[in-house]
Amino acid sequence: MKRQIWMEYRKLWNKVSVVAVIAMCVVVVLHLFVYLNLQYRTIDSNGKIVEGISSYRALKEASKDLEGVMDGEYIKKLIASYNNSFEKEYLAEHKGFLGTAGMMKYMVPNYCINYAYFGPYMSNGNEKVGLDYDFLESEEKFYAAYKKAVKEELEEDAEFLYFGYSDEQLSVLNKKADNIKTPFITGYAQGLFNLRTWFIWDYSLVFFVLAFALAGLFAKDNTGGVTELTLSSKYGRRRNLNARWIAGNLFAASVYLIYLVVQIIVNGIIGTLAGWNLSAQMLWTYCLHNITIGDGLLIMFLGGLLGTLVIGNISMMFSMKLKNIKIAAIFSVIVVILIRQTANMGDLYGLIELFSPMHFESDSLIQLYLFVGNIAVPFFVAVFIVALLYVAVLYVGMRLSYKRYAVSRNDLSHFSFKRVDILGFVFSRFSKSRCG
């Protein structure tokens, strides 16, 4: 069985799939290098504007003196440092700097503090980095204000989420907000912020690769597809289905991992991957889990893998149902395009994140909850269950279809002729041995 799986897996790496994967990697790399090089700029430790890719290294170097634990002493030093900084003076004259892809070392801690004031109305920009707030008089007041802002954000979710939160459920989440681990750990993490952003933006490229590469797995008009020999016995059907299905899922996972590795390597080269140990709230402001940014990204990467497997199984189902590689590829691409459109269905916020494979890698995994009664289930757990159900249903559907999978009459007559030929040869050899 292992050898058959390996053979089926190797057949999937044909010219079409290899070209598709290479094209995906090229698009990802160009997208990152061109966009990040042309648009981003920062203020370095000497107060100079650095543009392009080199701005990330300059930002990391300038951010060294702001790394640490956001306790009362840290906040006092931060206020003093920012009020006497070149950055504050520069922002007073250049109002649009932070709103047009500009970066500065104070962004991460200052945005976190400003969230405690603005809450659901927080957004990036020069007006959201000031530190003139009464609650900064003490560590306790700051984190009390921060947790209050989180609760206000949860109330906003209760209104905009498709499934909403009841008053009792909000009470459960508010208790979780009170238990957020403080003080936060802060520092430089711009490379990881970029990784999160571009991982989401280019994620659908993996789906398009699978739509083309897996269309021929069960097709009859493909050299790597199903032939009359594979359907010649009940045992052969079941064994062949399982081998191809496992190989198809391994291929889907391989393509996804290639995509993920490219994202990690390129973003690591440009912005570095420093900041894995920072508190998740530095990126996901109303995250109720006591995790790090690294933990949160790993959850998103796992969600991305689940979405990939769902799309891979959909493509395999089309391959089996339609039996034609071109038609199966067309239908798979159409489904991928339709799934991509769910990104614009804001009125179904929450429901789309739970059921659309396109959103299995979204920030919702880190910030939302699903309730069973008044029991809060982390959203990433709910998505994991939904993804498994998708794959299980699609597998059962393929198994039922494979039992009725038939070859054409021409294929049957060709197979029958070969079988008679072989039987005649065996009978003649047997007769000669008996006569001898």
Q: Which residue has the tokens 């007041």?
A: 141
Confidence of residue 347 (pLDDT cuts 50, 70, 90): confident
Whether residue 404 is contained in a domain is answered as yes
DSSP 44: -
- The answer, yes or no, to whether residue 63 has pLDDT greater than 70, is yes
Q: Which of 171, 186, 201 is the last residue of a domain?
A: 186
What would the mean pLDDT of 220-248 be, rounded to a whole number? 67
What would the mean pLDDT of 56-78 be, rounded to a whole number? 96
Pick from 213, 211, 244: nearest CA to 405: 244
Mean of per-residue pLDDT scores for the chain = 88
What would the mean pLDDT of 418-433 be, rounded to a whole number? 41
Output the pLDDT for position 237: 66
Q: Give dist(CA 276, CA 181) in Å, integer.
A: 17
Whether residue 421 is contained in a domain is answered as no
- In DSSP notation, 376-427 reads EEEHHHHHHHHHHHHHHHHHHHHHHHHHT----HHHHHHHHHHHHHHHHHHH
* Element containing residue 41 per DSSP (H, E): strand 41-43
Output the pLDDT for position 417: 36
Candidate from 198-207, 213-222, 247-256, 278-287 with smallest mean pLDDT:
213-222
Whether residue 434 is contained in a domain is answered as no
Domain of residue 89: give its range. Answer: 45-186
Output the pLDDT for position 222: 57
Q: Give dist(CA 268, CA 183) in Å, integer.
A: 27
Whether residue 225 is contained in a domain is answered as yes
**pLDDT more than 90, % of the chain:** 72
**pLDDT more than 70, % of the chain:** 89
Higher pLDDT pick, 19 / 225: 19
Whether residue 273 is contained in a domain is answered as yes
147 & 204 share domain: no
Q: Give dist(CA 373, CA 429) in Å, integer.
A: 73
- In DSSP notation, 219-262 reads -SSSTTS--GGGGSSHHHHHHHHHHHHHHHHHHHHHHHHHHHHH
What would the mean pLDDT of 55-70 be, rounded to a whole number? 95
Neighbours of 252 (CB within 10 A): 26
Residue 50 in 3-state DSSP? strand
- Main-chain dihedrals φ then ψ at residue 292, nearest 5 degrees: -100, 170
152 & 287 share domain: no
Output the pLDDT for position 236: 60
Output the pLDDT for position 75: 97
* Element containing residue 43 per DSSP (H, E): strand 41-43
Spatial neighbors of 425 by CB under 8 A, at least 6 apart, are none
Q: Give dist(CA 207, CA 311) in Å, integer.
A: 6
End-to-end CA distance of the chain: 40
CA angle at residue 282 from 278 to 284, to 5 degrees? 120
Instruction: Count up the domains in the chain and report the number.
Output: 2
Q: Give dist(CA 375, CA 134) in Å, integer.
A: 36
What would the mean pLDDT of 165-183 be, rounded to a whole number? 96
239 & 384 share domain: yes
Which two structure tokens, joined as six digits, stand for 206? 């993996």
Q: Which of 138, 163, 186 is the last residue of a domain?
A: 186
Confidence of residue 238 (pLDDT cuts 50, 70, 90): confident
Q: Give dist(CA 385, CA 200) in Å, integer.
A: 21
80 & 208 share domain: no
Whether residue 154 is contained in a domain is answered as yes
Which two structure tokens, joined as six digits, stand for 122? 């927080």
Where residue 278 falls (left for φ over 0; alpha for ψ -120 to 50; beta otherwise) is beta
Asked if 142 contacts 116 with a C-beta cutoff of 8 angstroms, the reply is: yes
Output the pLDDT for position 400: 85
Q: Give dist(CA 77, CA 92) in Å, integer.
A: 21
Residue 290 in 3-state DSSP? coil
Residue 185 in 3-state DSSP? strand
269 & 404 share domain: yes
220 & 268 share domain: yes
Condensed to tens digits (0 to 9), the pLDDT of residues 85-137 reads 999 999 999 989 998 889 999 999 999 999 999 999 998 889 899 999 999 99
202 & 339 share domain: yes
Q: Give dist(CA 290, CA 281) in Å, integer.
A: 9
194 & 114 share domain: no
- The answer, yes or no, to whether residue 424 has pLDDT greater than 50, is no
Q: Which of 186, 219, 247 is the last residue of a domain?
A: 186
157 & 203 share domain: no
Higher pLDDT pick, 231 / 191: 191
Whether residue 432 is contained in a domain is answered as no
Condensed to tens digits (0 to 9), the pLDDT of residues 360-414 reads 999 999 999 999 988 999 999 999 999 999 999 999 999 888 777 655 544 444 4
153 & 297 share domain: no
Output the pLDDT for position 72: 96
Pick from 209, 385, 234, 381: nearest CA to 311: 209
Whether residue 423 is contained in a domain is answered as no
Higher pLDDT pick, 407 / 57: 57
Condensed to tens digits (0 to 9), the pLDDT of residues 197-228 reads 999 999 999 999 999 999 988 876 555 555 54
179 & 74 share domain: yes
- The answer, yes or no, to whether residue 195 has pLDDT greater than 70, is yes
What would the mean pLDDT of 333-337 be, rounded to a whole number? 95
Q: At 225, which amino acid appears?
A: G
pTM, full prediction: 0.89
- The answer, yes or no, to whether residue 229 has pLDDT greater than 80, is no
CA separation (Å) from 65 to 23, 54, 82, 379? 41, 19, 12, 36
What would the mean pLDDT of 231-258 be, rounded to a whole number? 83
* Element containing residue 87 per DSSP (H, E): helix 86-93
Which two structure tokens, joined as six digits, stand for 295? 């933990």
332 & 402 share domain: yes
